Chains A and B, each alone.
Chain A
Amino acid sequence: MTDTSLPLPADARRHSATFPPEIIGQIQRTAVEGHYEIRGGGAKRSVPGFDDLVFLTASVSRYPLEGYRERCDTRTVLGARNGAAPIELDIPITIAGMSFGALSRNAKEALGLAATMAGTSTTTGDGGMIPEEREASKTLVYQLLPSRYGFNPRDLLKADAVEIVVGQGAKPGGGGILLGQKVSEQVAEMRTLPAGIDQRSASRHPDWTGPDDLRIKIAELREATNWEKPIYVKIGATRVENDVKLCVAAGADVVVLDGLQGGTAATQDVFIEHAGIPTMPAVRLAAGALRDIGMQDEVQLIVSGGIRTGADVAKAIALGADAVSIGTAALIAMGCNSRTYTLDGEVHDATEDYARLGTAPGYCHHMHTGSCPMGITTQDPDLERRLDPEVAARKVANYVLAMTMEVTALARACGKSDVHNLEPEDLVALTVEAAAMARVPLAGTSWIPGRET
């Protein structure tokens, strides 16, 4: 007999793990629009990452260096393998390639100025080198992308290093997208395209295919630059071990490895969330691949994809990176996802502007719309005015230098006089997954999953 005296629950809603509200929204949006979702930003899902690792800093068994007093070097040298003039940086954090087109002119200039202030390099992007960027940047890396938009051999000679982009973490195996609203007359002219088209960049290089060709392509770039400029190869993290070894065999001086969390200005959401492996295991695989072929001291590894803090940087270095690269975090430092912007000395609230894009400060991934309320990822002159390049540059430089201090704080506490001396033995993992991926012991145990004990 049913006991009717028990009250029914007031709220009968039951959350579905398979069909939560955001999935329902996604299905219904595509059902109406008839098209996959295109957005900016990086993977939003939770993946094993650097937060799952902690440092075993010094105590009795090891002794630390004195913070603020004893020297801890951060100088980073990249690309000397083939006799080119190496890239010498004061810090192990560089600014990743982001295009003029995806970013406003003010944002590109700000990144160049910031990199120069912080003693590091910045990188061009799809669409070529703009004069403001070259002028602002002491050390500028020139990307050679599949699209070759605006690629000019004379700009190649103005660069300090060349980066052949094979793929990126947000969309390994896919090309970039720049939606029509950002393909302004000027952007279109730089890319030799009609203004207003939904520009879809190539995913393969037009003039070579595969590792044997890449070797010849690298040689061509060396000839064209008289062997004076280091050549980087950038890949998205998928089959990391094989890809890194093939890059090295093809002659790369530096391998740039971009993990799953890496951002983009616009691509298919299905790529952003479902292609590639997270940055943390990618670093370990790449460093292991370099060691396998005895090239860990010859070829440098730059790692990117979701780097946010000095702790992330220190852990990436400990797992085998020589430097890290930041993209999204640099944009956030200059104001991306802020509630307010300052124009003509007055602070303005941008909440309404975000709302018009269907989002809010702190959640925005609408770089693809070209309507960035902060003036960063836009080609709209009125919006672009919201970003003062000098102020933005100072913020990015502050952020990068503060991260560097965090790295040295951790390195000193581990007893290292150079941040590059951090090593996997300085780390333990908080989860079984992270222990397996980083190949460091699960905290409190000597267990590295997958390794014979």
Chain B
Amino acid sequence: MVTLSCAELTTTEINRRLRELPRGSTVTITEPRGRHNLAVGLFPQIDITVDGNAGYFIGGLCDGPDVSVNGFVGWSVGENLMSGTVRVHGSASECAGASAHGGEIYIEGDASSRAGISLKGGTLVVAGGVGHMTGFMAQAGVIVVGGDTQEALGDSLYEAVIYVGGRVGSLGSDARIEDLGDEDVLLLKELVERSGFDHIEPENMTRVASARELYNFRASMSQAY
């Protein structure tokens, strides 16, 4: 096991060391104290544990590693994630999983506003509640919220789907509530198992998806411009 201390190393030194680790390595980053940009842009399949609170962009631009944070995280955890996982044992600030193209992000606490913004195929599972405009312009992928949401959920959604266990604050433009189907329940069961968020009841979730009324400009005449 490798240990890298933020008290002794710069962010750049830590990221360089992480980049050079062989596949299958296990590494712990200690004393992060809210450090930004830890474990970003990494491709090797390694296990990274951040032992404390992390700042902005933790696990962002990654395509491979499994990152686990024993604390809270700042803005845009796992932004543009391609594959691998990011697990936060605390709560997340704004824009969790922004524009993630793949991979899985698990938040054991709550996530602030615009969680899953511009999501492009990734999976975001939040055990607790989420802030306003969660799923804003989300294009593809899945967002699961165990608790309540604030207002404007799923504003300007494309093909991403949001499942909510608690109360939906309000729906955003072009978002609508749809019936929960068998395939939704199957998917949710799998995600509950993978996340370990047992309090989520797959059969009792609310499915929110796009009404697809903003997909094309509406003009009085034909769609010709």
Q: How far is the CB of B183 from chain A (nearest CB, A)?
A: 19
Q: Contacting A198 at CB < 8 Å: which of B57, B63, B137, B217?
A: B217
- Which residues of A have CB within 8 Å of B118? 147-148, 202, 206
B216 touching A197, Cβ below 8 Å: yes
B221 touching A206, Cβ below 8 Å: no
26 contacts between A and B (CB under 8 A): A33-B220, A35-B218, A152-B82, A153-B61, A153-B82, A154-B63, A156-B41, A192-B101, A193-B139, A193-B159, A194-B158, A194-B215, A206-B98, A207-B57, A207-B75, A207-B80, A208-B75, A213-B56, A220-B40, A222-B12, A223-B12, A223-B40, A223-B41, A224-B40, A226-B19, A368-B225
Interface flag for B197 (CB, 8 Å): no
- Interface of A with B (CB < 8 Å)? 32-35, 37-39, 147-148, 151-154, 156, 179-180, 191-194, 196-198, 202, 206-208, 213, 216-217, 219-220, 222-227, 368-369
- Which residues of B have CB within 8 Å of A220? 36-37, 40-41, 56-57, 60-61
Residue total for B at the interface (Cβ-Cβ under 8 A)? 46
How long is the Cα–Cα vector from A443 to B37 in the complex, in angstroms? 53
Most B Cβ at <10 Å: residue of A148, A191, A206, A224: A206
Most B Cβ at <10 Å: residue of A37, A180, A220: A220
B120 touching A192, Cβ below 8 Å: yes
A224 touching B41, Cβ below 8 Å: yes
With contacts defined as CB atoms under 8 Å apart, how many contacts are there between chain A and chain B in the complex? 126
Overall SS of chain B's interface: loop
Q: How far is the CB of B33 from chain A (nearest CB, A)?
A: 15
- Which residues of B have CB within 8 Å of A369? 225
A35 touching B217, Cβ below 8 Å: yes
Whether A207 touches B41, Cβ cut-off 8 Å, given contacts A35-B217, A154-B63, A194-B215, is no
Whether A216 touches B41, Cβ cut-off 8 Å, given contacts A151-B80, A152-B82, is no
Interface flag for B195 (CB, 8 Å): no
- Which residues of A have CB within 8 Å of B217? 35, 38, 179, 198
- Of all A-B residue pairs in the complex, the 4 with the closest CB atoms, nearest first, are A224-B41, A207-B76, A34-B220, A207-B98
A154 touching B98, Cβ below 8 Å: no
- Which residues of A have CB within 8 Å of B19? 226
- Which residues of A have CB within 8 Å of B12? 222-223, 227
- Residues of B211-225 contacting chain A, CB below 8 A: 215-221, 223, 225
B36 touching A219, Cβ below 8 Å: yes
Smallest Cβ-Cβ distance to B41: which chain A residue: A224
How long is the Cα–Cα vector from A34 to B63 in the complex, in angstroms? 45
Interface flag for B95 (CB, 8 Å): yes
Smallest Cβ-Cβ distance to A29: which chain B residue: B221
Whether A192 touches B41, Cβ cut-off 8 Å, given contacts A151-B99, A220-B36, A226-B19, is no
- Which residues of A have CB within 8 Å of B216? 180, 196-198
B158 touching A206, Cβ below 8 Å: no
Whether A225 touches B41, Cβ cut-off 8 Å, given contacts A34-B219, A153-B82, A368-B225, is yes
